[in-house]
């Protein structure tokens, strides 16, 4: 099992270490959220998680690689799904708003929270709370790197529901009326 895990880590490192594609194009943030939600929908339904999407359409346009950005969202959603695993009434929310000229994408859960950890600690490669074989500790490190490719930043904090909220700030290329997204 150790060799299999090492093979998986190596394969993932090769995939994510490929030179980033210079072909950036505008994409709709709401569509990226919908695509990411579609990839984890089965897990959410199987675990009977209350799930809420707040992604107004049409969404703000951002410049980048939509597939790589969706990978960030999928990783944040999978982390949230793991975080609510042992909660009585599991709940996850994903969405976006436009605040102060930035697209603010968020994934919030009512799981175990950050346990006093800072985002820098969480992004440390190969650091994970998950049992052996269930995670490599690369997800947030890779996600932070992809967010930087999109001229953005990744933040994390405990929320009022006892869980955590992960926030991605990225600049839009098409400015929307802030009032229409609130």
**Is residue 133 predicted with pLDDT exceeding 60?**
no
Burial class of residue 68 in the structure, from the number of CB atoms within 10 Å of its CB (0-12 exposed, 13-18 middle, 19+ buried): buried
Per-residue pLDDT at 164 exceeds 50: yes
Question: What global pTM score does this model have?
Answer: 0.77
* pLDDT given for residue 5 in this prediction: 65
End-to-end CA distance of the chain: 48
Phi, psi at 120, each rounded to 5°:
-65, -40
CA-CA-CA-CA torsion sign (157, 159, 163, 164): negative
**pLDDT category of residue 151 using cuts at 50, 70 and 90:** very high
% of residues, the chain, pLDDT over 70: 71
What local confidence, expressed as pLDDT, does residue 113 receive?
A: 83
Checking if the pLDDT of 145 tops 90, the result is: no
Q: Report, in angstroms and rounded to the nearest whole number, the Rg of the chain calculated over CA atoms.
A: 16
Mean pLDDT for the chain overall: 80
pLDDT digits (tens, 9 = 90+) for 46-97: 999 999 999 887 889 999 999 889 999 999 999 899 999 989 999 999 999 9
Give residue 144's pLDDT band: very low, low, confident or very high (50, 70, 90): confident
What pLDDT, on a 0 to 100 scale, did the predictor assign at position 140? 80
Q: Is the pLDDT of residue 104 over 90?
A: yes
pLDDT at res. 182: 44
Asked whether residue 124 carries a pLDDT value surpassing 70, the answer given is no
């Amino acid at each position: 099992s150790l060799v299999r895990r090492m093979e998986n880590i190596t394969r993932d490192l090769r995939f994510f270490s490929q030179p980033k594609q210079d072909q950036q194009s505008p994409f709709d943030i709401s569509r990226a959220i919908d695509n990411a939600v579609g990839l984890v929908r089965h897990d959410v339904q199987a675990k009977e998680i209350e799930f809420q999407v707040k992604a107004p359409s049409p969404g703000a346009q951002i410049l980048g690689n939509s597939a790589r950005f969706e990978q960030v969202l999928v990783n944040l959603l999978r982390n949230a799904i793991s975080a609510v695993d042992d909660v009585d009434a599991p709940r996850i929310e994903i969405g976006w708003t436009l605040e102060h000229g930035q697209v603010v994408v968020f994934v919030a859960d009512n799981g175990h929270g950050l346990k006093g950890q800072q985002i820098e600690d969480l992004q440390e490669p190969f650091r994970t709370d998950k049992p052996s074989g269930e995670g490599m500790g690369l997800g947030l490190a890779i996600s932070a790197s992809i967010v930087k490719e999109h001229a953005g930043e990744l933040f994390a904090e405990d929320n009022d529901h006892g869980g955590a909220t992960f926030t991605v700030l990225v600049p839009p290329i098409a400015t929307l009326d802030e009032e229409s997204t609130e």
